[in-house]
Amino acid sequence: MQKPIVKAFFDQGTWTFTYVVYEKPNTPCVVIDSVLNYDPKSGRTKTKSADEVIAFVKEQGLTVDWILETHAHADHLSAAPYLQKHLGGKIAIGSHIQDVQKVFKGIFNLESDFPTNGSQFDYLIEEGRDLHAGKLIIHPLFVPGHTPACMAYVIGDAIFVGDTIFMPDVGTARCDFPGGNANTLYQSMQKILSYPDDTRLFMCHDYPPTDRPIAYETTVGEEKRKNIHVHQGVTEAQFVEMRNQRDQTLEMPVLILPSIQVNIRAGHPPPAEANGKTYLKIPFNVL
């Protein structure tokens, strides 16, 4: 089985991990869940996190074949177009992004010609249709529940799980966004936890509940033994009851409004208006 090299980059502002996955230096690679830094107070973006990825890719002599998104994130803006400009590669996401686009086109009352067919992305991923980056084989898993369009990516002995599951002492993703469903999430996690116990799992976020250091890697076995929400023995009904109750206590992510508007466009901002400037919308008393 392939054992890819995984380089993680942590964005402190959004608690997000971006991954560069490759076989060895001077080979093709994939970038998963990139971050464009965004200041909600000023509405300005910066590229510090993405520039760190670019520097590493160039330092290792890597060629970017794919810039993958696990889903349309609600907690950070994607830097996919910026990375593509500097490194190449195709921007891809699960094909069910179309469902998410249809929902949020209505919520944000987006421009009438905003397409909801996923055409903003270079490629729409289907479960069962593997991708390739050199000798690396990327096997997509459809894992909805947190959102209706979440994907995980199996690359050799590693799975990049997006927001489906977190480190064992953090638990699992919320399911109260439009199209989310706790029953569906439970079933998606069982799909991931059906892999061998030594399968490496790479998180999209970490929110340490104690003063432990930030962590991004665990295993299927560790999750089955220790995950506080979904360890072995937890039934679907028990999980759904816990998840739904917990979600009622959570606040919306700080960056959900700008993030969704940008991320359903494959990381591109909305079109400029008549004055040449770009604007993001804030729905009033909607979410």
Question: Which H, E and C letters describe 199-264, residue by residue?
Answer: CEEECCECCCCCCCCCCCEEEHHHHHHHCCCCCCCCCHHHHHHHHHHHHCCCCCCCCHHHHHHHHC
**What is the pLDDT averaged over residues 35-62?**
97
Q: Which two tokens stand for residue 193?
A: 């936890």
- Which tens digits make up the pLDDT trace of 164-177? 999 999 999 999 99
**pLDDT value for 125:** 98
Give the chain's radius of gyration (CA, Å).
18
Under a CB-based contact definition with an 8 Å cutoff, are residues 66 and 133 in contact? Answer: yes
Amino acid sitting at position 249: T
**What is the pLDDT averaged over residues 194-212?**
96
How many C-alpha atoms does 91 have within 13 Å on its Cβ side? 26
* pTM of the complete model: 0.96
Q: C-alpha angle 121/126/127, rounded to 5°?
A: 145
Q: How many CB atoms lie within 10 A of CB 250?
A: 9
**pLDDT value for 145:** 97
**pLDDT value for 167:** 98
**pLDDT value for 194:** 98
d(C-alpha 59, C-alpha 90), whole Å: 21
For 181-186, the CB contacts below 8 A with 24+ separation are 181/144, 181/145, 181/148, 182/145, 182/239, 182/240, 182/243, 182/244, 182/247, 183/145, 183/236, 183/240, 184/144, 184/145, 185/144, 185/145, 185/146, 185/243, 186/145, 186/230, 186/236, 186/239, 186/240, 186/243
**pLDDT value for 286:** 84
d(C-alpha 193, C-alpha 25), whole Å: 31
Q: What percent of the chain has pLDDT over 70?
A: 100
Under a CB-based contact definition with an 8 Å cutoff, are residues 19 and 62 in contact? Answer: no
Amino acid sitting at position 107: I
Q: Which single residue is written with the structure tokens 């905003």?
A: 114
**pLDDT value for 24:** 97
Dihedral of alpha carbons 52, 53, 54, 56, sign: positive
Which run of H or of E encompasses 123?
strand 123-125
Amino acid sitting at position 282: I
Which run of H or of E encompasses 49?
helix 48-59
Instruction: Give the phi and the psi of residue 206 in degrees, each rounded to 5.
Output: -145, 135
**What is the pLDDT averaged over residues 252-267?**
96
Residue 174 CB partners (closer than 8 Å, separation 6+): 146, 180, 243, 246, 247, 250
State the pairing for strand pair 37-39/28-32.
unpaired
